[in-house]
Structure 1
Amino acid sequence: MTDELQDNYAGVFDGGLGFGRKPALILVDFVEAYFDKGCDLYAGVEDVLANAIVLRDAARRAGLLIVYTNVAYAPSLIDGGRFAQKVAPLANFVAGHPMGAWPDGLVPADNELVISKQYASAFFGTSLASTLTANGNDSLIIAGLTTSGCVRATCVDCCSHGFIPIVARQSVGDRHPGPHEANLFDMQAKYGEVVPDAQVIDYLSDLQGGA
């Protein structure tokens, strides 16, 4: 990040929201498509998956509500609308396609929630906001793929719905560092908190200790 850019944003887009009192964790679209080198959506983010597993395990110990999302379409892709028309490889997410399967190590437990969506944001057209409200959550720790797509869209809608977005920096990833870093910068500047995973895990440990 250049000094010129930092100076340009200073005093305008440098506010903070903190962590909140009762977070939930969302794991956005960790599915095989992003880890299979034969898939058009392969993103080379295996390290992100490993980090997300550590984060998920810490959230389990702290007793958080844990939500997983995937994308699932009808065979015709009619429910994908303009999104599926724009991004042809989304055909990998027709319900039952192997590229939509959970990767090793990040399979939901029976007491964890799975939300299937058709668009980028985990909030759009889903029950996520209602679920968080009913559970008393005031903040949402966000991990997932990809930073410039479904993670960013979820972060923006999280803020719009009145929850604090906490983006776990090492547990989000993208297919190229340019969009990844640009969107992390923008989310931190305007919508939420982009926080190193170690800091998030320390926060979860404090919650666990106070339970």
Structure 2
Amino acid sequence: MNEVIIATKNRGKAKDFEALLSPYGIRVLTLFDVAPDLDIEETGTTFRGNAALKAETVAAQLGKMVIADDSGLSVDALDGKPGVYSARYSGEGATDERNIEKLLSDLSAVPDEERTARFVCVLAIAAPGTETRFFEGACEGRILRAPAGENGFGYDPIFYVPTEERTMAQLTPEEKAAVSHRGEAIRKLEEKAGEVFGERP
């Protein structure tokens, strides 16, 4: 096996996996490279369900190993919302800014100490004829009342990371990778990389 497809059209996500897989002599491709017209409707009700749906659908269509991730924000005071709807929380035509505005509005009456939340990431690895494997990561924090920071994307400007004493959007990409949900999921995958991808050449 010398190619793995990342079921995303986000080249930033693909870079995270390139760093992990290049020592194994594996070339990383995205949906842009192999199936630019392929759109998978995320109908799962959990991060794990959506990740599996994406990975298994693409693996079946293309006959190759596929890595898919599903990730989002889970807020305790909102019973886990926005959850799997994180990217489209503010409805049709959702943007990061509108999603943040809606979340801050929904939490306006919630006291600071009850604004606990976590980012969650689930990686699913699927290949024809094999059982899908999962690797999960989480980052605990709380939701601020106003955005701070210019880096990152999504809810990063309002997600305060207590261990860093800053928001996710105030961290450098390297600092974020060390504490983020996706970073943790990728590190768990790294620990099993020899099993999943074969030994390094």
* TM-score, structure 1 as length reference: 0.24
Higher strand proportion? 2
* TM-score, structure 2 as length reference: 0.25
